[in-house]
Structures are given as structure tokens and as C-alpha cells.
A and B are shown apart, each in its own frame.
Chain A
Amino acid sequence: MIKKTLLVAASALPVLAGSYFAFAAQQRPMTFFVTSVGMGKGADLGGLAGADAHCQQLATAVGAGNKTWHAYLSTQARPGQPAINARDRIGTGPWYNSKGQPISDTQSELHGDTLIEAQRGSNLFKQSALTEKGQVVNGFGDMPNTHDMLTGSQADGRAYTDNTDHTCNNWTSSTTGTAQLGHSDRSGGGNTSWNSAHASRGCSQADLVATGGAGLFYCFAIN
């Protein structure tokens, strides 16, 4: 009797119920994942187009290619090219991981657009930020730690507006520059930011590995 009640509660309240996830096998389609592998050339992703194609390819390999996938990456303004904000590339939610568990219901919750939302955080954390294959990404305290996520974004999900490189030259450099990184486990680096924890050491694969990364990034389905 108790168990049945809990199951009902879990189904009705996935967001509130938290620990009940284990008992709530949802059938909602995946609309969010962390790439299980990087592209191998550091932060040179072949631009946004290359990164989007990587998302699409990984999704297709697990049977989720029927959706349009975008990488959660910002680009900075260049002469004749306005900046692109990562948050504007991912639709409006709600987003679910490969197990159908909620990541966030809204843009506002995902990015903490109000003070209380920002203080609470979204449902994106180590045990929910799964790869397209449903794997937990190694985090702070694991060996090797691969929690650094390429985002090139400020904490509000928008592009930087200063003249410093935060996107490895808009995801085309594996040599000079830096990229802003988030933490898929929201742990380490002195904060709990999923999308803007710290800058990378450089743009090469070795530079990304050096601070706990593997050139992974977030992918969201926009439809």
C-alpha cells in the first residue's frame, strides 16, 4: 500500500520528489544529454555547425535522431556577426535526460532567472546529467574527472561581451585562446555552476584534460 502510494506520488511529482526517481521509470523522450565523447580536437568543434552535427550524430546512434539537436554553446560577436547565446539555441523546455528524468521545466529555472530559482538551482546535477547512453559523467573526486563542459557562456547562458576569448575563437581553435566551462556535476572550482564555473587553460585537447575535461558539451533537442 505504501509503495503504491509512493509510486503514484513519484509519477505525479517527479520534480519535487527527488529521491523517488529511482521508482519512477518515465517514458518521456530524451531531450537533453552530455556528449559521451568529445570531438578529439580540443575546443575546435568545427564551429557551431560541427558541434550541432556531433550532437545529432550521437543522438542518432541511440535512436533519438528524430529530433533536432543543438549544442549548448555561445559564440562571441565578430565584425558583421552578432553574438549567439547558448540559451537561445535550445528551445523552451521542458528537458529530460536519457532516463526520462527532468532536467528543467523552463529556461528560467535552468538559468536561474529569478533570485530564488538561482539559489535553488535546476535538476541538472551529477546523477541526472547523463550521456546519450545513460552514463553518469565522471566528476569531482572520480578518476579521470571529465566534468568540464564547454559552454563559452556566462552563468545566465549568454555570450560574453568583452574582448577576451571565451569560446576558443567561436569553437574553431585547438591552439590559442580559452573557453568558459561548466561542471556537469556542479562540483569543484569553488562554485556549483553547471554552465560557467571557470575558464579553460587553453584550447587543445591536453589543455581541456588538464583541468578535468575531455571536450564534452551539453546537447538539447529543440523540438
Chain B
Amino acid sequence: MTRTPLLVAASAICVMTGSLFAYAQLPPDPNAKPNPKMNFFVTSVGGGHGGNLGGLAGADKHCQDLATAAGVGNHTWHAYLSTQARPGQPAINARDRIGSGPWYNFKGDMIAQDQAHLHGDTIELARMGNNINKVTNLTEKGQVVPGLYDLQAPNDRDEDYMAAHPASNRHETLTGSMPDGRAFTDNQDHTCNNWTSEAKGNSENLRQNTGAAVQVGMSDRNGGGNGSWNSAHSTTGCGQADLRRTHGVGLYYCFAVN
């Protein structure tokens, strides 16, 4: 009974606004304006192709486009993503791409004052953590990203459900990074082949998957076994369907570097 209207609604949304907005989130306050200090956000939408973001350049452009649409395109925006070393190409650490802080969200709340605070570079700082949480971790439009158990349903990882329920859990945030914000140095894939792959993994069990995968953080600091904002666990693959399997839609963090 309820399924048909939902499907119709989802289809209508897709037809009317295109697949980009199939993953749109909580409706923003139309009167809300970004704080002048804003230099951090979570993307309100993913690229739509799983972990294939068109490389770092494609991801940076997505950040810049979203920022421009939100009226903060006067900064240079970078995606918080690492890439792994390849022959002739050294690894790139997400933390080295985002300037030195302090960083502020849409409302002007400070989420971290510097690199050491953001990443917990000393054990004392790490135990305290930064100021990233579900309430402060806002999109470029000032929206809260839906988190663990939001609009929970048995089918809440299905494409049609997630499209029809933009306020359902989608807290997994692509980073490809270790908790310290640096690239992984082993031979496993943690970056969807440096943000170019939509390949499936070789197991739907997180621990057994040794194939295509990406390291994700929890935008709401809930779930994933530890609530890490940038490095909670891996995925079962790099396709959009693989990201959905653990409540992700391919969102990521963007920081202004100037």
C-alpha cells in the first residue's frame, strides 16, 4: 500500500529534477545565508557515480560548483580526499589539501581551530576530539546530513527508498584516509582507485572484501564501530549500489583553502 506512492514520488522527483537531486537532503531554510566565515561543508549531493568522482580534480570541481551555487564560490575549495601512491605518483594526504584552519560551517560554528585539533595529532587532542558532530556537520546549504537510524526501515538502503526519503540515513562520507588524515600505505584499495572506479568489491562482507573499496567516515559521529568523522571503516565496493549497502550516497567533505 505505501510502497506504490513512494515509488511514484521517487519517480516523479527523478523525472522532474534529474538524478542529481534524487539524493537531495533535508530541505534548507530558504532564508538561511552562509556565514561569511564559512570554509567547510559536507556536499549536499554526491557525484552519482559511487566512488568515481573523476579523480581529485573532479571532486574539487564538485566542491567548487556546490560552493558557487551556495554563494561562497569566492574561495578555492578542495575535497577532503586522499589518493594512494602509484608508480611515479606519490600519495596525496587529504589533510595536506585543506589549508591550516580554523574552519567554520555554514552557520559560522568553528569545527576545528587547526590541523592538530581537527585530526587529534596528540593523544590528548585525539581523546577530546574536534567539534564535528551531526548538528555542526552541515552541507553548503546549511542542512544537517541524515544519520544513523534516521527514517530507519528494512529497505532504507534501496535506491528508491533513499531517493524518496531524503531525510533517511546517508551518513557515510568518502575520505580514503586514515584517522590522521593521511593516505593508506598498504596495497589494498581505499580510494576507489584514486576516485576513478565504480567497481564492485569481491565480497559483500566488509572484512572479507579485498577488492574495490573506499574508506569512509561518519558525518553524524554515530555508527561504524567508532563514530570517526573521517575513518570509521571500509565499504563493500565502489559503485553507487555498494555505497548504499552501508548507508552511503557518496557525500564528502569540502574545505576552502584560502
| A contact set with B: CB distance below 8 Å | 2, 5-6, 8-9, 12-22, 102, 111-112, 114-116, 118-128, 140-141, 155-156, 185-188, 190-193, 196-197
Contacts and interface: CB of A to CB of B under 8 A. Distances in A.
B128 A5 contact: no
Interface stretch (B5-13, B44-52, B66-74, B220-228): B220-228
Contacts of A141: 134-135
Given A119-B119, A140-B133, A155 B228 contact: no
Interface residues of B, number: 45
B84 interface: no
Contacts of A5: 204-205
Contacts of A196: 127-128
9 contacts: A18-B218, A19-B247, A111-B127, A115-B123, A118-B127, A121-B227, A125-B223, A186-B129, A187-B134
Interface of B: 110, 119-120, 122-124, 126-136, 147-149, 152, 169, 171-172, 179-180, 204-207, 218, 221-228, 231-233, 245-247
B interface secondary structure, majority: loop
A118 B222 contact: no
Contacts of B119: 119
B207 A121 contact: no
Contacts of A102: 225
B135 A140 contact: yes
B227 A13 contact: no
A190 to B, nearest CB: 5
Contacts of A125: 221-223, 227
Contacts of B226: 120-123
